[in-house]
A and B are shown apart, each in its own frame.
Chain A
Amino acid sequence: MKLEKGIFYRIDWVMVILYLALVIMGWLNIYAAVYNDTHQHITDMHQKYGKQMIFILASLVLAIIIIIIDPRFFSQFSYFIYGFFLLMLVMVIFAGREISGSKSWFAIGGFGIQPAEFAKMATALALAKFLGYLERNIKNPRHLIIAVIIIILPALLILAERDTGSALVFICFVLVLYRAGLTGFVLLALLALPLLGVLALIINKFILAAAFLVLAALVYYRIPHRSRHFLVILAVFLASTAFVFSVHYTFNHILEPHQRQRINVLLGNNTDLKGAGYNVNQSLIAIGSGRFWGKGFLQGTQTKYNFVPEQSTDFIFCTVGEEHGFIGSVIVIALFLALIIRIILNAERQRSKFSRLYGYGVASLFFFHFSINIGMALGLIPVIGIPLPFFSYGGSSLWAFTILLFIFIKQDALRYGLV
């Protein structure tokens, strides 16, 4: 009893309150998105909002269990949890149910469980565990390679389920590696690659290569100690040129047709508003029609009358934009950023390297989902189907994010008591 009281006393309630705020807003949004006149009660179990309420109650139970469980459980069993979910990922390939093209669901009773959602959390744990030992150093190629394998393994399995969006999520762990000492070049390259990719698709590749050459020459003659950096500049130049040349091949031969279309939509090469461009256009219409104050709770017409596809899951942000306008959207964005930044700041105050790196993993995962999902709804990036944490309808995602967050809240609360 004494320990528990101590734990609750030390919990960072800011994170909990941000969590609860987002979950409740998410629930009301699902209600608004699915709302219809015949089933008006928000606790109606046959509707998505009723089910989501059950998921939320279950999440709260999960959160409390995590808070009161033995403090060493997660750090000790990290690899085990990781291994368990890897196994699940393998199993789902064989025993899973195929839903809209990807085989990533276990059907248990009436509910579907998506192991991929939990695998993200498990990977964050395993990565933190591996890099958490003081002697582990990312500058050591062996350690780096193992860390990368920890990240890539579940991603490859999820790719095998044909759930590209969830697989891409694992890119976010680069931020953890970066905090652990990975050179900033990788981060820079990762940020620059999408830009280069877009350039490569809209500008002739030879012109682009020539531009790189000029740029490289300029940089070379402008910086001091130029001979020392010659090789680096040459390497960057060659790499970018090679990348640009490979983009076309990748785009035309490796990407699947629907992925190609989504990119074309974004680049403005495809204005087929009834076909591939339909989702994004309807999403923008819903958000744009919200104007400054929004249409009001349950007053959204675009979302309520199903003009936006996947509106309770991937395009849930449209409901926010339409019903709560610019103000509401900015508040939601601010709440997410507050939570993510709070996690980073809390992570830095950890004494244990495991807790700190795990915190970075949590923040990275939230950030990636947040930016991809909202970026997609705003038509800034191609359509990638990953949920918006706490907002998108679905038990697996909500539970996985709750567990992910509360393990960190727990670690944070224990920061003085544990090494």
Chain B
Amino acid sequence: MEKVLAYRRFIIIGIFLTVGLIFTFRLFYVQILVDKYILSANNNVLRYITQYPARGLIFDRNGKLLVYNEAAYDLMVIPRQAKNVDTIELCRLLGIEKQEYIRRMTNARNYSSYRQSIFEGQITRENYGFLEEKLFRFPGFFVQSRTLRKYTYPIAAHTFGYIGEAGPDIIETDPYYKPGDYIGVNGIEKSYEEILRGEKGMKIRVVDVLNRDKGSFQDGLYDTLAYAGTDLFSSLDEELQEYGEKLMMNKKGSIVAIEPSTGEILCLITSPSYDPNLLVGNIRKKNYRDLVFDTVYQPLFNRALMAMYPPGSTFKLVDALVGQQEGVLFPTTTYGCPGGFSIGNGKMVRCHAHPSPLNLIGAIQISCNTYFCRVFRSIIDNRIYASTRQAYEKWRKEVMSFGLGKKLGLDVPGELNGNIPTPAYYDKYHGKDRWRSMTIISLGIGQGEIGITPLQLANLAATISNRGWYYVPHIIRAIGKKDSLNPGYREKKVTAVDQSYFDIVIDGMADVVTEGTARASKIDSIDFCGKTGTAQNPHGKNHSIFIAFAPKMNSRIAISVVVENAGYGAEWAAPVASLMIEKYLRRTVKRKEIEERIMNADLIHGINIKYETGKGHFLPD
């Protein structure tokens, strides 16, 4: 009986071996086939501690420091270790309510009770002083150092932009950014983000199950250093920018100045503006909200790039240039002005009282509406073209060669295209090819559907001063090294108008200042050339516009000034431009009475005009 059952040992051994085999297969699966366990293991014990680099600094064209970094601190918490915290004291120091403390703790705990979360971000150095000496009373809390952007001068807020925490959409699309990282949200901070941000470093630490630090991972073999961001040398002139912002105080509008020979932006002013230091650190959220909700003055709206105005009479310069190029206008061309230009049905484009008839220089100097309506008509009705449409398309092409009607490509985000209407637009409005020169005559005096941004106006001034070419305007002249030139902006753009047609127009512009519409703004011994513009708009008083450059030969500054709802170009924009030119060329302003009148003028308070926001506004007449 016993011996008969001896075979059963094989069954039993078989069971043993089967179990051994199952274990081997399972081990093979767990240890060799799948990766998720090794990933989870690293997730368990490795803590990747980011080393944040300092962002690149930003200087002005004379080497003045404009934007720098200051030490700041994130207050971190590990909820599990936060026991016996003097909650009342901590709330008092941070200026938060008990409920807020509980809410943040709950959030942190929901993320992980073993791992660190930011409890209060970006505490400034001053505030950290109060916190530091009491930190020992808050077990589980510690600080992680970060940097905050600081601005030496409270100017050029829109140009610099600001930085903020990278949002989920960015983190998803760009692997560089992790939660808690900062990214340039606007302005130079955004367009030069990859240069300014530097390179993050990484320290890998090993922790135990209670998140206690157990030393560096493999003696720091895989640790990387942080590299500071690259410095930027902007072409802004700090003094000019600051002076312009003072002039524009209590006015809506903008000033853009360009160095014509290089395309470098000397100042980029929009008003109303704000102190860039407001959008830094943990006060940013609140201040940003306040700025956004200020719908009356719209301080976040960058008018220099995002507002679109009919250029008014400044556009007559383009008429003069294109007319000559098209062979329908000569310096000697003379038109009489009977106080306006009749467009049929008893309607007319009015003109002011002035001597008549006028030649080209005179018409620019006096800014005669009738003259340029005729010039515009002669361009559009030119017999050498088969149709109005063809002539118009040619005109449009030549106008756009001045950098109008499309984004110039400035290295500050947010530029608008402006608008030089397409033939299709008029087809839609009047019916296919059912429009004539008389239908669109207001374009000739820079009114109607045409829309140009202040940046484009300044670039127009620079292009005219160069006699027909421009470099794309840019605000960063050098990257990393002070003397290197920004390689993105080395290509000359040439207009469709021949160089030889410019001098007569520039002579006219010189007369505008010496004895024409802007004679009140002339500066002794600086020969500058300008053109006034007064853009009608249905929302209130006319926009006061002026473009200019100086000196007449080899000019060093080209400028556009727009003062919204202020009146005639000669009244506000021209004196502002002349003060800016004087400031830039002489470094000091002698005409104190004009300066005082401008600085003390308040053109917005008490006059509440609401604009559509968003993609800029278009103001037809």
A contact set with B: CB distance below 8 Å = 137, 175, 178-181, 184, 187, 191, 281-282, 284-292, 301-302, 304-307, 321, 325-326, 329-330, 333-334, 336-337, 340-341, 344-345, 347-348, 353, 360, 363, 367, 370-371, 374-375, 378, 380
A305 touching B23 by the CB < 8 A rule?
no
A284 touching B208 by the CB < 8 A rule?
no
- B9 on the A face (CB < 8 A): yes
B32 contacts which chain A residues (CB < 8 A)?
A: 291-292, 326
B31 touching A371 by the CB < 8 A rule?
no
B209 touching A348 by the CB < 8 A rule?
no
A301 touching B41 by the CB < 8 A rule?
yes
B45 touching A302 by the CB < 8 A rule?
yes
- B348 on the A face (CB < 8 A): no
Q: Beyond A137-B1, A285-B44, A330-B24, list 15 extra A-B contacts (CB 8 Å).
A: A178-B11, A179-B5, A285-B40, A288-B36, A289-B38, A291-B31, A291-B32, A301-B45, A305-B207, A334-B20, A337-B17, A337-B20, A344-B9, A374-B23, A375-B19
A305 touching B37 by the CB < 8 A rule?
no
B5 contacts which chain A residues (CB < 8 A)?
A: 179-181
B23 to chain A, nearest CB (A): 5
B45 touching A305 by the CB < 8 A rule?
yes
Contact sample, A vs B, 21 pairs, CB 8 Å cutoff: A137-B1, A175-B12, A179-B12, A285-B37, A287-B37, A288-B34, A288-B37, A291-B38, A302-B41, A305-B207, A326-B27, A326-B32, A329-B23, A333-B24, A333-B27, A340-B16, A360-B12, A363-B12, A367-B16, A380-B22, A380-B26
- B214 on the A face (CB < 8 A): yes
- B386 on the A face (CB < 8 A): no
- B111 on the A face (CB < 8 A): no
B27 touching A305 by the CB < 8 A rule?
no
A287 touching B30 by the CB < 8 A rule?
yes
A281 contacts which chain B residues (CB < 8 A)?
A: 40
- B609 on the A face (CB < 8 A): no
Q: How far is the CA of A282 from the CA of B40 in the complex (A)?
A: 9
A289 touching B37 by the CB < 8 A rule?
yes
Q: How far is the CA of A288 from the CA of B11 in the complex (A)?
A: 32
A74 to chain B, nearest CB (A): 21
Q: How far is the CA of A380 from the CA of B23 in the complex (A)?
A: 9
- B226 on the A face (CB < 8 A): no
Q: Is the interface of A mostly helix, strand, loop or mixed?
A: helix
B583 to chain A, nearest CB (A): 66
Q: Which of B38-75 contact A (CB under 8 A)?
A: 38, 40-42, 44-45
Known A178-B12, A305-B209, A305-B214: A288·B30 in contact at CB below 8 Å: yes
Q: Which of B1-19 contact A (CB under 8 A)?
A: 1-2, 5-6, 8-9, 11-13, 15-17, 19
**4 closest residue pairs by CB, A with B:** A288-B37, A289-B41, A305-B208, A301-B45
Q: How far is the CA of A375 from the CA of B19 in the complex (A)?
A: 9
B34 contacts which chain A residues (CB < 8 A)?
A: 288
B contact set with A: CB distance below 8 Å = 1-2, 5-6, 8-9, 11-13, 15-17, 19-20, 22-24, 26-28, 30-32, 34, 36-38, 40-42, 44-45, 206-210, 214
B44 contacts which chain A residues (CB < 8 A)?
A: 282, 285, 301-302, 305, 307
Q: How far is the CA of A187 from the CA of B14 in the complex (A)?
A: 13
Q: How far is the CA of A242 from the CA of B283 in the complex (A)?
A: 70
B38 touching A288 by the CB < 8 A rule?
yes
A291 contacts which chain B residues (CB < 8 A)?
A: 31-32, 38
Q: Which chain B residue has the least Cβ–Cβ distance from A309?
A: B209
A343 to chain B, nearest CB (A): 10
A301 touching B206 by the CB < 8 A rule?
yes
B9 touching A345 by the CB < 8 A rule?
yes
Q: How far is the CA of A345 from the CA of B154 in the complex (A)?
A: 91
Q: How far is the CA of A340 from the CA of B18 in the complex (A)?
A: 13
B374 to chain A, nearest CB (A): 82
Q: How far is the CA of A306 from the CA of B20 in the complex (A)?
A: 28
Q: How far is the CA of A21 from the CA of B406 in the complex (A)?
A: 83
Q: How far is the CA of A185 from the CA of B32 in the complex (A)?
A: 38
A325 touching B20 by the CB < 8 A rule?
no
Q: How far is the CA of A378 from the CA of B24 in the complex (A)?
A: 10
B13 contacts which chain A residues (CB < 8 A)?
A: 341, 344
Q: How far is the CA of A371 from the CA of B13 in the complex (A)?
A: 13
A382 to chain B, nearest CB (A): 15
A370 to chain B, nearest CB (A): 8
Q: How far is the CA of A333 from the CA of B6 in the complex (A)?
A: 25
Q: How far is the CA of A289 from the CA of B26 in the complex (A)?
A: 14
B208 touching A306 by the CB < 8 A rule?
yes
A185 to chain B, nearest CB (A): 13
Q: Which listed residue (B31, B37, B45, B210) contacts A329, Cβ 8 A?
A: B31
A86 to chain B, nearest CB (A): 27
Most buried by A among B5, B30, B40: B30
B35 to chain A, nearest CB (A): 9
Q: Which chain B residue has the least Cβ–Cβ distance from A179?
A: B8
A333 touching B20 by the CB < 8 A rule?
yes
Q: How far is the CA of A381 from the CA of B268 in the complex (A)?
A: 72
Q: Which listed residue (A306, A347, A375) contacts B209, Cβ 8 A?
A: A306
Q: Which chain A residue has the least Cβ–Cβ distance from B38?
A: A289
Q: Which listed residue (A184, A325, A347, A375) contacts B31, Cβ 8 A?
A: A325
B8 touching A371 by the CB < 8 A rule?
no
B36 contacts which chain A residues (CB < 8 A)?
A: 288
A347 to chain B, nearest CB (A): 8
Q: Which listed residue (A306, A345, A375) contacts B23, Cβ 8 A?
A: A375
Q: How far is the CA of A305 from the CA of B207 in the complex (A)?
A: 7
Q: How far is the CA of A374 from the CA of B24 in the complex (A)?
A: 11
B209 touching A286 by the CB < 8 A rule?
no
Most buried by B among A184, A301, A333: A301
B31 touching A178 by the CB < 8 A rule?
no
